[in-house]
Amino acid sequence: MSASPDDDRLWFEHATLAVLPDLVSTALRLTRNRADAEDLVADAIARAWLGLGSLRERERFRGWIFRILTNLFLSERRAHAGRPEEEPLDEGGAEFSLFERLHQPFLLWWSSPEQEFLDKLVREDLTRAIDALPEPFRLVVVLADVQGLSYQAVSETLAVPVGTVRSRLARGRALLQRALWAHACDAGLRPTAQDRKPGTA
Amino acid sequence: MSNPTTINCEEALRLLATYLDGELHGAEHEHVERHLKICRSCYSRAEFERRLKAQFDELRREEIQPAFEQRVRQLISEFTSPAAGEPADE
């Protein structure tokens, strides 16, 4: 701990504001609602301040406050639902590869339908696909793919084994890619033969 | 001594996500890396997955509404000394 409560508060304010955009991003993907997300972040900040004495290494603040935020979300969900959201039994399988849908190995060098597809994706396409994931998969995808936490850190945050993180991540990503593909088909974002003519990309 | 390039496409693709996540180490990491250098198809797949992953990275930070930042600053300004060592629901 620092010398005085004021020093602690200044340090805490600085550290919190530095990660605030990340906390709000995560809370938005978890709650899928801005007002709820902001309330969740405010609650997490208050809890973090109260528990600051238990943070032994301040350089680990980011991971620590993410754990607080995620656990608050999970405990509030349990309190409101009466019981945790039912987890899908099948954590394996359901393979889906966007690449395999898009890739055309015999096209000429100038053509890359995969790149064209990625170029057409916008932020809203990605957030919509994440928001549609069942909660157990959404949690690991948000922590690992959006926030960049290691498998070990996700495992500690969610209190599940690393093997479970891996399998949920694989399944979550397959579901995400399937959702992006479905959206692309619906919205006409799939690369067309016209897109693939040289000079029209 | 085993041939260091014996990993096949099926094996490389099985390990690809872990490799791209930076969670593959030692011999398996080297095998995937070597395979991607010699297999155009798997290299293309890896590049696609890498670029898609990068798009999700861009969601990491959300723009903060000024009113919410003000709310957080106000909240912190009202904090008194934290309880020593009180668990924070980690």
Over residues A8-57, the pLDDT tens digits come to 899 999 999 999 999 999 999 999 999 999 999 999 999 999 999 999 89
User: Across the interface, do A145 and B69 touch by the CB < 8 Å criterion?
Assistant: no
Among A29, A97, A145, beta carbon nearest to B53? A145
Q: Which long-range contacts (CB under 8 A, 24 or more apart) does A126-131 make?
A: A126/A180, A126/B55, A126/B56, A126/B59, A127/A28, A127/A29, A127/B59, A128/A179, A128/A183, A129/A176, A129/A179, A129/A180, A129/A183, A130/A29, A130/A176, A130/B59, A131/A29, A131/A32
Question: Please, which residues 21-50 of chain B have a Cβ atom closer than 8 Å to chain A?
Answer: 21-23, 41, 44-45, 48-49
A contacts of B24 (beta carbons < 8 Å): none
Query: What pLDDT score was predicted for residue B74?
Result: 95
Residues of B whose CB is below 8 A from A172: none
- Per-residue pLDDT, A116: 82
CB–CB contact A54 B86 (8 Å): yes
Of the given ranges (A6-20, A85-99, A152-166, B16-30), which has the lowest mean pLDDT?
A85-99
Positive/negative CA dihedral, A17, A38, A33, A137: positive
Rounded Cα–Cα distance for residues A39 and A54 (Å): 23
Confidence class of residue B83 from pLDDT cuts 50, 70 and 90?
A: low
What's the complex ipTM? 0.82
What is the 3-state secondary structure of B20-40? HCCCCCHHHHHHHHHHHHHCH
- Would the pLDDT of B5 be above 60? no
Query: Does A187 touch chain B if contact means CB atoms closer than 8 Å?
Result: no
Q: What is the pTM of this model?
A: 0.82
At A76-96, the pLDDT tens digits run 888 877 555 555 545 445 688
Q: What percent of chain A has pLDDT over 90?
A: 55
- B90: nearest CB among A16, A67, A173: A67
- The mean pLDDT of B52-81, rounded to a whole number, is 92
A93 touches chain B (CB under 8 A): no
Q: Which residue has the tokens 């890498």?
A: B50
Burial A101-139 (b: 16+ CB within 10 A, else e): bbbeeeeeeebbbbebbbeebeeebbbebbbebeebbbb
Question: A42 to chain B nearest CA, in Å?
Answer: 7
Cβ atoms of residues A145 and A59 within 8 Å: no
